[in-house]
Structure 1
Amino acid sequence: MAAPADTLHVDPLVWGHGPKVFEAFLEPTCPFSVRAFTKLPELLEAAGPERITIKIRLQSQPWHMFSGVIVRCILAAATLPDGRDAARAVMSAVGAHREEFEFTDHCAGPNMDATPNDIIRRIERHSGLKLAAAFAVPALQKAIKWQCKYSRQNGIHVSPTFMVDGLIDPAISSGDTVEEWMARIFA
């Protein structure tokens, strides 16, 4: 059950507590963002939670047609018990079943007939989480707007984009290995 609007807590999507801060700006249905997302647990393990703080930032992009609905589902999950892990479960579910949330060539295909409620139900089915009530809390909009503003204030326009200690590093790519990421992060 979602918290009342006046007590809504959206768990930060943060893992680790080290001094080196790695922020990944991800769009949940972007194949390159999904590839980067799947590497984050390995990065945390390789670097160690005492050396790195990993922050997921959600970068909704309009050409991914259900991006706004899916981002809201992820943040709704972050309001549930085990918030950040519930949000990660939603991101994992969406990434593992991208074809159910994306359009052919960003403009066609079976999802043309899907509604936001269809998308929420699909995410619930794949993640095992009940999200509809949390999704419907109006105060969740504040967290969504924060994600957008933070990206824009930092000059982030596409996903995935990566920041190290508050600076964008355009040399980091989702196609890099975790070892290559670590070499850039800890350079």
Structure 2
Amino acid sequence: MSIPPKFAGLKLSAATPQESQHTLELYLDYVCPFSAKMFNTVYALGPRIIEKYGSQLQIILRQHIQPWHPSSTLTHEAGVAVLRLAPERYWDFSAALFKHQTEFFDVSVVNETRNATYERLAKIAGSVGVQEGKFLDLLKIPEAPRADGQLNVGNKVTNDLKWIIKTDRVIGVHVSPTVFFNGVEERGISSGFTAAQWEEWLSQNVV
């Protein structure tokens, strides 16, 4: 599945879409432990994958909200904000957020306001070079009604988030992690894949 230019930061690749022969899509949730396991392995392999496969492969990190974890929406809004402000930092931000993911699990946020959660996410964004003030400006929810009385106002990334959710629903992704290879779900890839298993799978499939 193609992606709009404004979401180019989703990719980990040295290739352009026109050059790429294969596409590997990782549907991951920032508050899913299994997603973290898969991401961390692929992220560590990233430089070697790019060096070895060059224009033969593009890897796309697809954000996948799992609403049974309410903070999933907030963390993915943060990912969208980074895509908007500094797409070249998106994978680094994702790595930092996965490192701190337990700080956004259900028990960790149960007594926290939404804007307070955004403020903690801003610190993580700031740690990878994203401007915290601009980040918060995209995410924070007004604490009073708008002049027209509207209460259900969302934030400045709501429309982008809707697009991300639609892409998941169109192809029927339910849980994370889910992997698609060249547009088809690849059930042979496990979140527990080691670096060696990833390298073996890639060598057999990226030709």
AA partner of residue 33 (structure 2): P
Distance in structure 2 (CA, Å) of the matches to 1:167 and 1:94: 28
Distance in structure 1 (CA, Å) of the matches to 2:194 and 2:174: 23
Deviation (angstroms), 1:138? 4.6
Equivalence map 1:22-171=2 (5 Å): 22-48=24-50, 49-80=54-85, 82-85=86-89, 87-103=90-106, 109-128=107-126, 129=130, 130=132, 131-135=135-139, 138=155, 140-171=157-188
User: CA offsets, 1:6-46, max 9 Å, x none?
Assistant: xxx45441121232111000001111111111122344333
- The answer as to whether partners of 1:15 and 1:44 remain within 8 angstroms in 2 is yes
- The answer as to whether partners of 1:101 and 1:111 remain within 8 angstroms in 2 is yes
Deviation (angstroms), 1:176? 0.5
Larger Rg: 2
- The answer as to whether partners of 1:22 and 1:54 remain within 8 angstroms in 2 is yes
Q: TM-score, normalised by structure 2?
A: 0.74
What number of residue pairs does the alignment pair up? 173
Deviation (angstroms), 1:166? 0.5
- Secondary structure (helix, strand or coil) at the match of 1:114 reads coil
Structure with higher helix content = 2
Deviation (angstroms), 1:142? 2.5
RMSD (Å) for aligned C-alpha atoms: 2.2
Provide runs of 4+ in structure 1 moved above 6 Å: none
Specify the alignment match of 1:19 in structure 2.
Answer: 21
Relative distance call for 1:37 and 1:46 in structure 2 (3 A) is: same
